[in-house]
Structure 1
Amino acid sequence: MHVPDGFIDAPISAATAVVAAGAIAVSLRGARRELDERTAPLAGLVAAFIFAVQMLNFPVAAGTSGHLLGGALAAILVGPYTGVLCVSVVLLMQGILFADGGLTALGVNITDMAITTTVVAYAVFRGLVKVLPRTRRSITAASFTAALLSVPAAALVFTLLYSLGGTTDVSLGKVATAMIGVHLLIGVGEAAITALTVGAVIAVRPDLVYGARGLEQRLKLRVNGELVDAQAPLAPAAPRTSRRKLWITGLAASFLLAGFVSFYASSNPDGLEKVAADQGIDQKAKEHASADSPLADYGVRDVDDARLSGGLAGVIGVGVTVVAGTGVFWAVRKRRGTTSQAA
């Protein structure tokens, strides 16, 4: 759902840039409370993983594909404030290095893909875990539902922004129907990826999943003939996977997905591209300012072999994103420590 330059006019693009900047500023402060020495490296890994999985377009309808947006996944794994920053880092890397998503539309994309998906998904997730049984399966189910709803919510926000600043004269009703319809289907893929990933991390390190913190099952213990409440951890006691091993495994998976599996991704246009072409939204689309980037369109310039070119671009993207993301989150974590000491 990366919005290119020219879809939304300058005033609305500028307004969303202000919204995005404000949200990032708030998220930087909020992330200080969410991150600690254990989760800061995980946040950088989450950003890299989202970058990798976004390269894997999956078919959703005739001639249409979809890809992960990532807001729900990031919010549940590392927290809503940190989640906004994770997706924003990905969007920034994609826009600057890969000419994916317009630079003048960066505010639109952050508002739509980072803020909307994260806020909606985490609100739905928290609401569900409060009423569902406090089990690992409940967290996975809540993750699925939250991710599923976050995608059409983003489509709805794009439709709203288009109604305010669209550059072509297209029926708003047709745009809304097409966008929400196709993104409901994409939401199913988003939900499956999110639930599988959250479930996998919970299985080995539930303590590192932000959305699982504080979730416990009530057990009864008999003490001196009386039943009393006892707290049991979300997952049964077992040898834990070390944070380093988890990080290395996650990074290796990201490199594999971006560097190899992405070659087999669907080549069909994604939901926004398809709707834009069908409804005429793209009539005033502009060439990307980074169209001459050596990594534009997820390929390495002067590398003729398509598989090798795309694979190298994916590996470079994952590497740059994990370095940039980890740097940002370590700085936020360090700032938290400095602020605490000053207080």
Structure 2
Amino acid sequence: MHVPDGFLDLTTSAATGVVAVGGIAAALRGARSELDDRTAPLAGLAAVFVFAGQMINFPVGVGTSGHLLGGALAALLVGPWTATLCVSVVLVVQALLFGDGGLTALGTNITLMAIVGVWAAWGAYRLGTALLPRRVGVLPGVAFVAGLVSVPVAALAFCALYAVGGQAPLDFSTLVAVMVGWHTVIGLGEGVITALVVSSVLAVRPDLVRGARPYRSPADLEIRSGVRA
């Protein structure tokens, strides 16, 4: 999904840059309530996972690429604000060191993956947990849906940006069909990976899954994790 330089006009790229800066500023404030001695190291591991997943790219035939986003998993493990920061850091490193995505498109890529992708996943998680029984056992399924939803929603957001300021000679309807179609397939993989990792962490360290906190008392989390306050 990395958007290259020149794919969107400068006005649209500048606008998404402003959105990205605002989103990161908000995430810096919001992450204060999510990070503690347990979650701070996990945030680093989440960033490494996102970096590794995003380095595997699949051409989608419209001048851009598709790949795992990792925002859903990061959001469920460390919270959406911290996940936004994790994905943003990964995108900056990829752009500066690996040329993955363009520098003028960095704001666009942060907006799409670190903001839209992460918060679409978190929204799907909150909706799923509100509709389903309040049991820890439902969380892997909700995690799957969150991962699945996050990728095509980010792809749709890209299509909306292209409709406003696209510069490549592409038919819009074809672009939407290809982007959403391919990214739905990628989203299935994202959902499976997110569900498997969340399920595995829940089995051994449920205290490290931020999305599980409303389902367990502090004492229960302490006993299951083997950590004493």
Give your verdict on TM over 0.5: yes
When normalised by structure 1's length, the TM-score is 0.61
SS at 2:214's partner residue? coil
Structure of greater relative contact order (alpha carbons < 8 Å, 6+ residues apart): 1
Q: Give 1 or 2: higher strand fraction.
A: 1
Structure 1 residues 238, 79: closer, same or farther in 2, change over 3 A? closer
Cα deviations by residue, 1:271-300 (Å, 9 ceiling, x for unpaired): xxxxxxxxxxxxxxxxxxxxxxxxxxxxxx
Distance between the aligned counterparts of 1:4 and 1:173, measured in 2? Answer: 20
Structure-1 residue corresponding to 2:89? 89
Partner letter of residue 54 of structure 2? Q
Deviations 1:35-54 (A, max 9, x none): 11211111111101111222
> Whole-Å Cα distance in 1 between the matches of residues 194 and 101 of structure 2?
23
Aligned: 1:174 with 2:170: no
* 1:47 partnered with 2:47: yes
Structure 2, unmatched stretches of 5+, are none
CA distance in 1, matches of 2:178, 2:134: 37
Aligned-pair CA distance for 1:210:
0.9
Query: SS at 2:116's partner residue?
Result: helix
1:179 and 1:233 map into 2 onto residues whose CA distance is 43
* Structure 1 residue 135, shift from structure 2 partner: 2.8
Partner of 1:321 in structure 2? none
How do 1:149-228 residues align onto structure 2 when only pairs under 5 Å count? 149-216=149-216
TM-score (norm. length: structure 2): 0.90
Write the letter of the residue equivalent to 1:11: T
Letter in 1 for 2:198: V
Q: In the superposition, relative to structure 1, how do residues 158 and 76 fare at CA in structure 2: closer, same or farther (>3 Å)? A: same
Count of residues in correspondence between the two structures: 226
Superposition CA RMSD, Å: 2.6
- What residue ranges of structure 1 are gaps of 5+ in the alignment? 218-230, 243-343
Query: For the structure 1 residues 148 and 81, does the alpha-carbon distance in structure 2 shift closer, same or farther, using more than 3 Å as the test?
Result: same
Determine the structure 2 residue equivalent to 1:275.
none
Secondary structure at 2:215's aligned position in 1?
coil
Q: Structure 1 stretches (4+) deviating beyond 2 angstroms?
A: 53-60, 133-137, 231-235, 237-242
Deviation at 1:129, TM superposition (A): 1.2
Give the superposition deviation at 1:170: 2.4
Distance change (3 Å), C-alpha of 1:9 and 1:213: same
Amino acid at match of 2:199: G
Note if contact 1:67-1:190 (Cα within 8 Å) is conserved in structure 2: no
What is the CA–CA distance in structure 1 between the aligned matches of 2:201 and 2:94, rounded to whole Å?
Answer: 26
> Counterpart of 1:213 in 2: which secondary structure?
helix
**Shift of residue 155, structure 1, vs aligned partner:** 0.6
Question: Take 2:156 and 2:118, find their aligned partners in 1: how far apart are those partners?
Answer: 14
User: Is 2:79 the counterpart of 1:67?
Assistant: no
Counterpart Cα distance in 2 of 1:15 and 1:59:
26
Identity over aligned pairs, percent: 57
C-alpha distance 238-15 of structure 1, shift in aligned 2 (>3 A): closer
Read off the aligned partner of 1:50 and give its amino acid letter: V
How many angstroms apart in 1 are the aligned matches of 2:172 and 2:205?
46
Alpha-carbon offset, residue 57 of structure 1: 4.9
Alpha-carbon distance between aligned partners in 1 of 2:225 and 2:81, rounded to the nearest angstrom: 30
Does structure 2 retain, via aligned residues, the 8 Å contact 1:204–1:240?
no
Q: 1:98 to 1:241 in 2, by over 3 A?
A: farther
